[in-house]
Amino acid sequence: MQNPFKEFLYFSRGERRGILVLITGIILVFLSGYIYIYQRENRPLSDEAIRRQATAMAEYESFIASIQEKEQKWDNRFNSSLLKHPPTVSLARFNPNTADSVTFCRLGLPGWMARNILRYRSKGGKFRKAEDFRKIYGMTEKQYQTLLPYIHITPEDTETRTARLYSSPASNDSAATSRIAPEKYPAGTLVDLNRADTTELKKIPGIGSGIARLIISYRQRLGGFYDITQLQEIHLDTSQLQSWFSIDTRAIRLINLNRSSLERLRNHPYINFYQAKAIVEYRKKKGNLHSLKPFALYEEFSDTDLEKISHYVCFE
């Protein structure tokens, strides 16, 4: 029996000739393409083409040269400006309550920080002690420590700050100047900080209407005071006030940690959102609280936080 694959692959002499011609034609087509490209690339350019190419190259080189020339001018101008006004730092004694923006820049502070300081002063702000300078927005610890030996606060600035902080601002109109000052308590009088109203507070020497309202407002947010030093949290100088106040801690309004909502907890000045959330989550998972001890291991609470909060919570 004849092999079918052999019959399939068998070509006659004429068929083999045709196949060879076809293959040769395909090879010639491919070679002609490469020969055409080679001849085109190596063909000598006409005079017109050479002129166009030279013109384009000249325009390109001129464009690049003009850009380089402008960049060089800007570099020279910038370098010249640096040579005329070098950014040197000159540390010298200064009063942050009177220094101008140029002085602050010479001390090494950036322009935007100098503007922050001037804006703070324009709104009535005053630096009563060197530590107050650290509170300027953007001030780093390194900058503060560098400038600390050169900060000079005059006694007049301290007195002016005290007058502004503990007395009502004077008005220029005749009605204000004729206003009768409230009667003041004599030395030795004690006022309960947790029960006094604004009328009583204004009878304390050095406290006007504004400071009285500030104390009452913060007392309401806290629920009451447990220590006179808490007045420092609203930027009051307790050294001048502590002799006038007594504190009855029984008047403090307590927060029930087992019943208060997250919103109620976070509204307290000593409890932030994450701390309030931790308290509520603990109640959901483990039931009622009986102390603050479980939160000593929480990263949301520091020992200082827990001590301050302990005066305002109950578990009943």
Tokens 């604004």, residue? 198
* Spatial separation of the C-alpha atoms in residues 234 and 165, rounded to whole Å: 11
Tokens 């060197």, residue? 130
157 backbone dihedrals φ, ψ, rounded to 5°: -65, -40
At 189 the three-state DSSP class reads coil
Asked if 313 contacts 290 with a C-beta cutoff of 8 angstroms, the reply is no
Asked if 91 contacts 146 with a C-beta cutoff of 8 angstroms, the reply is yes
| pLDDT band per the 50, 70, 90 thresholds, residue 99 | confident
* Spatial separation of the C-alpha atoms in residues 265 and 282, rounded to whole Å: 14
Average pLDDT score over the chain: 80
* Spatial separation of the C-alpha atoms in residues 106 and 16, rounded to whole Å: 96
AA letter at 92 = A
Question: Is 0.95 surpassed by the pTM of this model?
Answer: no
The pLDDT of residue 234: 92
Lowest mean pLDDT among 87-91, 172-176, 270-274, 276-280: 172-176
Query: Is 60 exceeded by the pLDDT of residue 87?
Result: no
Lowest mean pLDDT among 1-10, 33-42, 194-203, 233-242: 1-10
At 225 the three-state DSSP class reads coil
Q: Which is higher by pLDDT, 168 or 265?
A: 265
Helices and strands in the chain, H and E counts? 13, 4
133-150 tens-digit pLDDT: 877 877 888 888 888 888
The pLDDT of residue 85: 53
245 backbone dihedrals φ, ψ, rounded to 5°: -115, 145
Burial class (CB in 10 A: 0-12, 13-18, 19+), 114: buried
User: What is the DSSP track for 273-292?
Assistant: HHHHHHHHHHHHHH---S-S
